[in-house]
Structure 1
Amino acid sequence: MRTTLKTARRQPSKPFKGLAWVVFIGYSLFMIYLLFIGFSRSSRSDHRMYNVVPLKTIKGYIENYQYYNFDMWFINLFGNVAAFVPFGFLIPLLFPKVARWGQVLRLFFGLLFIVEALQVAFKVGSFDVDDIILNVLGGLIGFAIYKARARLQLKP
């Protein structure tokens, strides 16, 4: 009898899944803090900043790297990617119905669009489509790690 891919994949143990929930909730709270309170965020004036041109901010950081201190440059480019890698791994683990590339892409894009809009609404940040691009990239990298892990756990 042929074993299908669905039945061959091992399901995470209850303790592992419980730990994953703790990590997910803790990391979510940490990210909410960083996105809305951390980095010395405070309510700004009525002047709101936007970037709706894809790759404009990223290009600016790359072309003008010499004008930024390394920490700012690194956090804005690589930190925005790395910050969402854990979510890309944890979301399909905890929500098995979100286990396809298109679903993950839509989920991350939608949620991150809302985050950027809320930062502007609460005057604690700017709306930058490049942040969405980098954050989604991080989520997709995490999802690729999840998929690779799932492939390694297939029974022979």
Structure 2
Amino acid sequence: MLKKFYKIIIVPYTLFLLYLLFLGMGRFQYDDNLLTIKPIVSTINFIKGASSWMDIVTIVLGNIIMFIPFGFLGWIFPTLKDLKSLLFTFISVIFIVEALQYFTRMGIFEIDDIILNTSGVYLGFLLCRFVEKRFEELV
């Protein structure tokens, strides 16, 4: 039951997320290609300069929470049931997305985004295993 719902919802969810990553939330095309490659530094600087806690929660936690559903991809692609395969595949894809943001100048290539998004996938993977063990009859 849950797997069927997941299979139906993950494609539109992915498309919505891609919209947010390239066009949503007031995005605009930068004049220059921008990148931040020092891990954690840009997140710390963002937190220091944030005007409110809500901005921090929206951006930092959002970068984690929005990617939790991808931890369940093993339900659709059996090769991604293994954590190493899931993380390798996800990091490869999110790297490409960040590169597209860089080359289109519709965002900033940020290592911190890759780290935070991957953390979300890992949490999703753990949640998926919990759901599978706890609610076997629904899965």
TM-score, normalising length: structure 1? 0.79
* 1:68 to 2:51 alignment: yes
- The structure whose residues are more often helix, as a share, is 2
Number of aligned residue pairs: give it: 137
Unaligned runs of 5+ in 2: none
Pick from 27, 47, 50: which aligns with 1:41? 27
- Match for residue 69 of structure 2? 86
Aligned counterpart, 2:17: 31
Larger Rg: 1
Q: CA deviation at 1:33?
A: 0.7
* 1:3-152 matched pairs, under 5 angstroms: 16-45=2-31, 47-62=32-47, 64=48, 67-89=50-72, 91-152=73-134
Unmatched runs of 5 consecutive residues or more in structure 1: 1-12
CA distances 1:73-105 after superposition (whole Å, capped 9, x unpaired): 22221000001001112x111112211111111
Moved >6 Å (runs of 4+)? none
- Of stretches 132-141 and 48-57 in structure 1, the one that deviates more from structure 2 is 48-57
Distance in 1, matches of 2:30 and 2:45, equals: 23
Structure 1 Cα separation of the partners of residues 57 and 9 of structure 2: 25
